Chain A
Amino acid sequence: MNVSMTVNGSVQAITVEPRMTLLDALRDELRLTGPKKACDRGECGACTVLIEGRRVLSCMTLAVMHDGQRIGTIESLDHDSRLNTMQEAFIEHDGFQCGFCTSGQIMSAVAMIEEAKSGWPSAATEDVTRPFTLNDLSAAEIRERMSGNLCRCSCYPNIVDAVTEATHGR
Chain B
Amino acid sequence: MHTFTFSRAADPTTAIAAHAEDPDLAFIAGGTDLIGLMKDHVALPQHVLDINSLPDMSAIEALPDGGLRIGALARMSDVAADVEVRRRFPAITESLLFAASGQIRNMASMGGNIMQRTRCAYFRDEDDLPCNKRRPGSGCAARDGLNRLHAIFGWSDECVATNPSDLAVALAALDANVIVRGPRGQRLITFTEFQRLPGNTPERDNVIERGDLIISIEVPPRIEGRSSHYLKVRDRQSYEFALVSTAAAVAMDGGCIRSARVAMGGVAHKPWRLTAAEAALRGVSLDDIEAVKKAIGLSFVDARPLAQNGFKVELGRRVALRALQVAGGRT
Q: Does A108 touch B at the CB level, under 8 Å?
A: yes
Q: Does B16 touch A at the CB level, under 8 Å?
A: no
Size of interface on A: residues with Cβ below 8 Å to B: 39
Whether A62 contacts B31 by the Cβ 8 Å rule is: yes
Which A residues from 44 to 68 make CB contacts under 8 A with B? Answer: 45, 48, 54-57, 60-62, 64-65
Whether B6 contacts A128 by the Cβ 8 Å rule is: no
**A-B interface contact total, Cβ < 8 Å:** 104
The distance in angstroms between the C-alpha atoms of A48 and B50, with both chains bound, is: 22
Whether A112 contacts B102 by the Cβ 8 Å rule is: yes
Q: Does A147 touch B at the CB level, under 8 Å?
A: yes
Q: Enumerate chain B residues within 8 angstroms of A1, measured Cβ to Cβ.
A: 6
Whether B94 contacts A61 by the Cβ 8 Å rule is: no
Within the complex, which residue of B4, B36, B93 is in contact with A18, where a contact is CB–CB below 8 Å?
Answer: B4
Which B residues from 72 to 107 make CB contacts under 8 A with A? Answer: 77, 80-81, 86-87, 90, 93-94, 97-98, 100-104, 106-107
The distance in angstroms between the C-alpha atoms of A37 and B263, with both chains bound, is: 38
Q: In the complex, what residue of chain B is closest to A59 when comparing beta carbons?
A: B35
Whether A55 contacts B32 by the Cβ 8 Å rule is: no
Q: Enumerate chain A residues within 8 angstroms of B100, measured Cβ to Cβ.
A: 148
Q: Does A115 touch B at the CB level, under 8 Å?
A: yes
Size of interface on B: residues with Cβ below 8 Å to A: 36
Select the stretch in A73-81, A118-126, A157-165 that faces chain B: A118-126
The distance in angstroms between the C-alpha atoms of A98 and B101, with both chains bound, is: 23
Chain B 20-48 against A: per-residue CB contact (8 Å), 1 yes, 0 no? 00000000101110011001000000001
25 A–B contacts, CB within 8 A, in A order: A1-B6, A18-B4, A18-B5, A21-B35, A42-B32, A42-B35, A42-B36, A42-B104, A45-B101, A55-B103, A56-B103, A56-B106, A57-B32, A57-B103, A64-B6, A65-B28, A65-B50, A108-B102, A111-B102, A122-B97, A125-B97, A129-B86, A147-B101, A147-B238, A149-B101
